[in-house]
Amino acid sequence: MPKSWTDDAPEPMVLQEHAHLEDPISYRIKKRILGVPLNRHSLSHQRLSKTHALGILSSDCISSSAYGSEQILLALIPMFGLAAFNILMPMTAVVLAVLVIVTFSYREVVSIYTKSGGAYVVSRDNFGPVIAQIAAVALMLDYIVTVAIQSAAGVDAIISTFNNLQPWKLEMTILVIVILTFMNLRGVKEAGAAFAFPTYFFAGSLAVVFGMGIFRSINGTLPKLDTNVDGVIPIGHSQGLFTVAAIFILLRAFANGGSSLTGLEAISDGVSLFRTPEGVNARRTLVIMSSILATLVFGISYFAHAMWTMPFESGTPTVISQIAKGALGNSLFGGAFFYVVQAATMLILFTGANTAYNGFPYLVNFVATDGFLPRQLTKRGHRLAFSNGIFLLAGSAILLALATKASVEHLVAFYALGVFTGFSLTGYGMAKRAHGLRDKGWQIKYGINMLSGVVSTVIVVIFAIVKFTEGAWIIIAITPILVVLLLRLNRQYRKEQAALRVTEAKARRTSISRHDVTVLIDNVDIATVGSVRYARSLNPRHLTAVHFVIDDQRADAISADWAKNPALSDVTLQMIDCPDRRLPNAAVDYAIRATASQDVELTLLLPRRSYSRFLGKVLHDQTAEAIAAPISQLSRVVATIIPFDVEKILDSDPLVESRIAPVEVVTKTKQVPLPKLQNPQSGPISHYNENILPISNATWRKRAHVRGQVTAIRTAPSGGAPRVDVEVWDTTGGITLQFLGRREIAGLDVGSTICAEGMVGETEGSLTILNPSYEIVI
């Protein structure tokens, strides 16, 4: 085009329009269901305050208190009868002691691993990738069980209030999992706003129940429930505690009670969700969470002991619902508040299931980033959530619910084993780290973490033994299989990376001394002409067209059409016999002959005509892909498929031209008013323009002060003159900032906001500000 200083040059313009493809119907449906896509630059705003974090990440742990004491009684009462209520409180005290030990260990984890923590990262950093995969598999299985068991327990809370819903328990559980999946696909911020409240609602409602219970206990009106009612579990007879059978049942009860501690690791897995400073906020939230959990577990066990609340074989009514009804009494307030407690219990159990939706996707993202799971699990979806991880979690939880018919008692057999495996590896890993660094106070850190590891290991052994026949054997059997699969997947990834690694010898071969291009044709049409046009742009030494002859009449017709087309008059057409009609073999044979000389490299261009999805497969073959696959295995040969969309040509539906508008960033930030915009013609030309202009008002050969978002950064080749081109857009258009003599702009990234001021020039018809003064907006 004419240069800007000549009289006949068009006046340069701001960058205004780009071509956009029309959204397919699948994307429009997703947009309607999930909402508008979030800008990736808003990711830093998708963080949680301590209030939201406590509600989301601690709900799994706190909700476990709703059934932990009941699971202890389920193990004790058939063996020890009513004496089980006297054993309940000492057993609860042991469980809470374990809680304190593990909490102190995880305080160190969240303080040190502020970007990502948990058993996986701690094991990886301190024991290597193999041991880390044991932690990864254990935690992944536990998160899956968490969704299933918490959803089922929440449905039990509903059925405890409305008994006629019992036949629909499985369907209701699956529906809950589907709803949780949908809410989390919309993004962490939306899920946080919805799920922060139930944690406080549950704790507050139980505080009222405990307060009423204490009041009624003091004045002697706290009821002792009838233990001989239909549907309760069988009541055993009192016996000694030191027989082999009794010790086994005590260990089983302790393992059941250990389910109250599940979810304690969720905060360490989600440290990166916290607002800065992440470590301090996560540490405080962890302590608050453990304190609330300890209070609730102790309170429920105490009132179960005081009121003799019996678990039922069907699972409903639950122990916590019996405690609420007995402590609140039959008054108008008590009867009404009972439904409030049941609603709070239901919500906290559902939010407990939701915690896994925050921990599991981040965990598999860490593992996939390390190359032990498919890379698809590292991709963020429409609303910045790890959508593939969410779908994997939901699908696995639904299958588990179907297999166990959503029975909490059966699901407990799968529970806690993975969590305490993670606790063990975390404790040992942090102890090793403290011993290796030997910084100030390392002896205390070493002792706490080693104690946590040993205690957790003992619990794993107990759980594996006493729960083996109830389903723990499945976890024990599947864990090593999954670990081996993860290691084999990583080995495959490493082989692929080694094959693609750029060696010093390969790095030097960046230029081609003799480059030939061949276009494989089976017709003379617009696709062929377009391919030849592209071939000329490659500046080959020799440009040849090749047709593999499988039909003599068709070959003659192609030769005639080729000779009559003036656009192809300078391109040699070569006919090669293909008697067995195996086109891929013929193409490979031709490529080998063409590259017999070691200094020749060949590019094969394959025009591919794309038709409608259904009729295209019926009416046309897919030869280009079949030829390109074996060609890619040859050295010094490249197969390039050039697509031509015939369906679009038939529809005459061009690309939709639309102005690019920045994607809205959903965030609550303080709006800083911009200076009043000035008409560029209203002021005299000066050496500095103070007022910020819309980019569309920038005028050639005048100074402009603009502000916008960086959408592209181009740097000059390392072997050329230093230069950085920065493309900046606002809602009115785009302009290029050109920095000469520099190879980078410190602190400037794609997506940053920048203010720049300088004289407006032009480059190839577009407005450019050369070496502007600038300020990066934080």
Query: Alpha helix (H) ranges present in 509-633?
Result: 526-537, 552-564, 583-594, 613-619, 623-631
Residue 18: what pLDDT? 56
Residue 711: what pLDDT? 85
Alpha-carbon distance 679 to 687, whole Å?
A: 17
Helices 118-127 and 417-437: crossing angle in degrees, nearest 10, is 40
DSSP β-ladder status, 656-659 and 733-740: unpaired
What is the mean pLDDT of the segment spanning 375-395? 86
Residue 78: what pLDDT? 83
Residue 197: what pLDDT? 84
Residue 44: what pLDDT? 55
Q: pLDDT tier at 127 (50, 70, 90 boundaries)? A: very high
Of 247, 230, 226, the closest CA to residue 80 belongs to 247
Residue 100: what pLDDT? 93
Q: Which residue is it, tokens 């994997």?
A: 392
Q: Is 133 helix (H, G, I), strand (E, B) or coil?
A: helix
Of 108, 115, 434, 440, the closest CA to residue 283 belongs to 108
Q: Over the stretch 540-549, which tens digit does the pLDDT of each residue have?
A: 988 989 888 8
Q: Is 712 helix (H, G, I), strand (E, B) or coil?
A: strand
CB 306 within 8 A of CB 217: yes
What is the mean pLDDT of the segment spanning 30-44? 68
- Residues of the chain with pLDDT > 90, as a percent, come to 18
Q: Over the stretch 346-365, which tens digit does the pLDDT of each residue have?
A: 888 888 888 788 778 888 88
Q: Over the stretch 150-201, which tens digit does the pLDDT of each residue have?
A: 899 889 888 888 888 888 989 999 999 999 998 888 765 544 556 678 888 8
Alpha-carbon distance 105 to 445, whole Å?
A: 8
Residue 398: what pLDDT? 94
Residue 548 burial by Cβ neighbours in a 10 Å radius (0-12, 13-18, 19+): buried
Of 581, 587, 663, 595, the closest CA to residue 624 belongs to 587
Q: Is 403 helix (H, G, I), strand (E, B) or coil?
A: helix
Residue 48 has what DSSP assignment? Answer: B
Alpha-carbon distance 13 to 697, whole Å?
A: 10
DSSP β-ladder status, 753-763 and 773-777: antiparallel
Alpha-carbon distance 510 to 506, whole Å?
A: 8
Q: Over the stretch 482-539, which tens digit does the pLDDT of each residue have?
A: 999 999 999 998 888 887 776 666 555 555 668 899 999 888 888 888 889 999 988 8
Of 190, 125, 186, 181, the closest CA to residue 366 belongs to 125
Whether this model's pTM surpasses 0.85: no
Q: Over the stretch 587-608, which tens digit does the pLDDT of each residue have?
A: 888 888 888 888 888 999 988 8
**3-state SS, one letter per residue, for 380-394:** CCCCCCCHHHHHHHH
